[in-house]
A = this chain, B = another copy of it.
């Protein structure tokens, strides 16, 4: 897979670089200041096992990597295959008045994925994408609340262009000019040729246009497998996270106007109605002023926050608080934060300089003392994703921050640095946490934050979940309202098979299963048959609780070797061209594949990867390598497991810390030849099956297997 760099390939690369630069005097230089219009050229230098860096020109001082706050999880590289040499030939770049551009190769049929949380597309070859933080993408431009300059290809190549600028990526879309005339042309007399597509089997290049810089570092992550390249990127980022067990239970969020009484009422109702729930979240109304925020409990709505947290804790709930970072002049934080904020305001509030340690620490320290110490388990960090065309909803790109960066750079890192301002308070206290956030960026894998958005298209939500796994991100396809019972059911089915199961009642007075229509819900017009709908929803939420051990294992693998717990099918089988465009099915852990259904559709096509599979619910055999239409009549979300799988399926507890969550039924599919493992080495907890008998190897917390169930 790796290309050995010889003098010959080097010379060819230099020649190619010169040709694609279009002009030009060629400059052989590494890490030097490149004059305008000239081509620079860099070898790959190994930075970590299987990770190389090329430096073209003089990179900016502030980049995602230069400002990183978590070191690579170096030891974990050992778990991946060793690579002898960089799998790409040396690359070239060129300094131009508007910035710096680089050229990377694109082989025939090589398909490209990643670029963060892309809502509107999946396979990126042939597209132009701008790496711009924007909350409301309506067009497939790259805009997203969590875009990032990392891509991975079916050839097992991962590339991170280390910039906090809004870089444009042309994934085979920018073609060199033709230079030779053609003497004859085939006249098409049937119809004019309005369309023109560059064939995917042509040689191409990925051109990256990084504005405002005079150089850039490029990181190359080797495979050999596509999934290895992603793993290397995640390990380089610091390794994947493992959420606390309670983070994997159900989250329920109260309406913005909720009071202390409303919170306690809901807490009781969920327990009484036997709806499992671990986390209850509050919306802006908990503060004295929001938009912008004071970060002070409203004495009217929440006269006794400490009592509330205590009561919640006694009922085994965690409390999560909504906020955004823009700090109102009435906040106690304001005087200290004012010198460490940007020169523009948002909603008359300060924009904290999260790129500087002072801004992060002042902001974090306040949160630590007032909320973390008080027992708040985590936050929902809203509005950090640059709704800049909404009118006054964010800060300009030309903002200046005391740390020396501008608004454009800040937007690219604002989400992740905001996460650190909060997370560091939990780290200092050695406390687990799990949070929601509206923006993230490069190198996010270790951060205990799950992305969400104000967008709500169910199919897009699944595409985003599928895309998130290419880039070290996690995504929550939350349930807010629904257009029908079916829509509610389908959305709930998706959220329980995701990194964070969230029923977000932020604008619903009553739980969504009592009335899924927002206006009627607020008006108190509950469904006549809400108890039966509640029962259906309860069953789905129960699945979530039963899945917690399996999810835990998947996340442990994420931390161990960077394998994304939720990911596209193509990552596991890049050689299978049928999977190159499958953006509505995904792997969970190492053996489970989910294919969500969407309301209003009579069913869906399901593309099965190679190998033998089983229906998760029935154990029925499903042909691998096939494709079939599944009628949507089932009450279940379509889930498949690899034949041979053992899957732990817990009893249903009302929260994740109950004994039920650790009481497992080991479901055995087919011949049971794929043991289930949590942890590794001496820590391993392993379920094995041998000719009709199950066995447990190793001990793990309070886990017990009380039943073995053969599933066909």
List residues 588-635 of chain A with CB under 8 A from any CB of chain B.
Answer: none
Chain B proximity of A261: nearest CB distance (Å): 13
Q: Say whether, besides A207-B398, A349-B178, A398-B101, A330 and B185 are in contact (CB < 8 Å).
A: yes
By CB atoms of chain B within 10 A, which of A182, A190, A256 has the most? A182
Q: Is A288 an interface residue (CB 8 A)?
A: yes
Stretch at the interface among A193-201, A364-372, A510-518, A647-655: A193-201
Copies of this chain, count: 2
Tell yes or no: A701 within 8 A of B by CB. no
For chain A residues 179-235, which have a beta carbon within 8 Å of chain B?
A: 179-198, 207, 209, 211-212
Are B138 and A139 in touch, CB under 8 angstroms?
A: yes
- List residues of chain B with CB within 8 A of the CB of A97: 212, 406
CB distance from A296 to the nearest CB of B (A): 8
Candidates B175, B209, B335, B400; contact of A37 at CB < 8 Å: B400
Known contacts: A192-B256, A196-B348. The answer to whether A173 contacts B391 by CB under 8 A is yes
Q: Map CB proximity to B onto A290-322 as digits: 1 under 8 Å, 0 otherwise.
A: 111010001111000000000000000000000
Distance of A685 from chain B, by nearest CB (Å): 45
Which one of A284, A346, A398, A406 has the greatest number of beta carbons of chain B within 10 Å? Answer: A398
How far is B212's CA from A290's CA once the two chains are assembled, in angstroms?
Answer: 37
Whether a CB of chain B sits under 8 angstroms from the CB of A35 is no
Is B392 touching A193 in the complex (CB atoms < 8 A)? no
A397 close to B (CB within 8 Å): yes
For A194, list chain B residues within 8 Å (CB).
256, 284, 290-291
A675 in the interface, Cβ–Cβ < 8 Å?
no
* Cross-chain contact of A350 among B178, B343, B345, B351 (Cβ < 8 A): B178
- Kindly state whether residue A34 has any CB partner on chain B within 8 Å: no
Q: A98-B212, A329-B180 are in contact. Are A256 and B391 (CB under 8 A)?
A: no
Chain B positions within 8 Å of A292 at CB level: 196
Residues in B neighbouring A168, C-beta threshold 8 A: 396-398
**A657 contacts B by Cβ under 8 Å:** no
Interface size class of A (residues with CB under 8 A): 35 or more
Contacts of A22 in B (CB 8 A): 343-344, 400
Contact A177 B344, CB 8 Å, known A284-B192, A398-B209? yes
Q: In this assembly, does A664 line the interface, its C-beta being within 8 Å of a C-beta of chain B?
A: no
Specify which chain B residues have a CB less than 8 angstroms from the CB of A176 in the assembled complex: 343-345
- The listed residue (B21, B126, B140) touching A392 by CB distance below 8 A is B126
Task: Give min CB distance, A387 to chain B, whole Å.
Answer: 10
Q: Which residues of B contact A392 (CB under 8 A)?
A: 126, 173, 175, 196-198
Cβ of A343: which chain B residues have Cβ within 8 Å of it? 21-23, 176-177
What residues of chain B lie closer than 8 Å to A175, measured between beta carbons?
344-346, 348, 392
Among residues of B, the one whose C-beta sits closest to the C-beta of A60 is: B97
Chain B residues lying within 8 Å of A99, measured Cβ to Cβ, are 212, 398
Tell me how far the C-beta of A499 lies from the nearest C-beta in chain B, rounded to whole angstroms.
Answer: 26
Given A196-B392, A257-B191, A391-B127: A23 in contact with B178 (beta carbons within 8 A): no
Q: Are A289 and B138 in contact (CB under 8 A)?
A: no
Smallest Cβ-Cβ distance to A328: which chain B residue:
B185
| Interface contact B211-A98, CB-CB below 8 Å | yes
The yes or no answer to A141 lying at the interface (CB within 8 A) is: yes
- Asked whether B256 lies within 8 Å of A174 as measured between CB atoms, the reply is no
Tell me the smallest distance from the CB of A290 to a CB of chain B, in Å.
5
Cα–Cα, bound, A347→B174 (Å): 10
Q: Does A468 contact B (CB under 8 A)?
A: no
Give the Cβ gap from A695 to chain B, nearest Cβ, in Å. Answer: 55
Contacts of A284 in B (CB 8 A): 192-194
A329 in contact with B398 (CB, 8 Å): no
A388 within 8 Å of B by Cβ? yes
A201 CB, nearest partner CB in chain B, Å: 15
Whether B257 lies near A185 (C-beta < 8 A) is no
A394 (CB) vs chain B CBs: closest residue: B128
A291 CA to B212 CA, complexed, in Å: 33
Does A334 sit within 8 A of B, measured CB to CB?
A: yes
Q: Interface code A394-430, partner B: CB below 8 Å = 1, 0 otherwise?
A: 0111101000001010000000000000000000000
- With an 8 A cutoff between CB atoms, is A341 at the interface? yes
A96 contacts B by Cβ under 8 Å: yes
Q: What chain B residues lie within 8 Å of A186 (beta carbons)? A: 289
CB distance from A194 to the nearest CB of B (A): 6
CA distance in complex: A139, B387 (Å): 12
B contact residues around A23 at 8 Å (CB): 343, 400
Q: A187: which of B96, B192, B298, B400 is its contact (CB, 8 Å)?
A: B298
Mask of A256-274 contacts with B, CB within 8 angstroms, 1/0? 1100000000000000000
Taking a contact as CB atoms under 8 Å apart, the answer to whether B330 and A182 are in contact is yes
Contact assessment for A181 and B335 in the assembled complex, using a CB-CB cutoff below 8 Å: yes
List of B residues within 8 angstroms of A101 by Cβ: 398
> For A138, what are the chain B residues with a Cβ–Cβ distance below 8 Å?
138-139
* Cβ B183 vs Cβ A330 within 8 A: yes
- Chain B residues with CB under 8 Å of A299's CB are 187
* A283 interface contact, C-beta 8 A: yes
A547 to chain B, nearest CB (A): 34
Q: Is the CB of B128 within 8 A of A289?
A: no
Question: What are 10 A-B contacts defined by CB distance under 8 Å?
Answer: A98-B406, A175-B344, A175-B346, A185-B294, A192-B285, A192-B291, A193-B290, A196-B292, A196-B347, A212-B212
6 additional A-B pairs beyond A178-B348, A181-B338, beta carbons within 8 Å, are: A23-B400, A126-B391, A182-B334, A192-B291, A193-B291, A211-B211
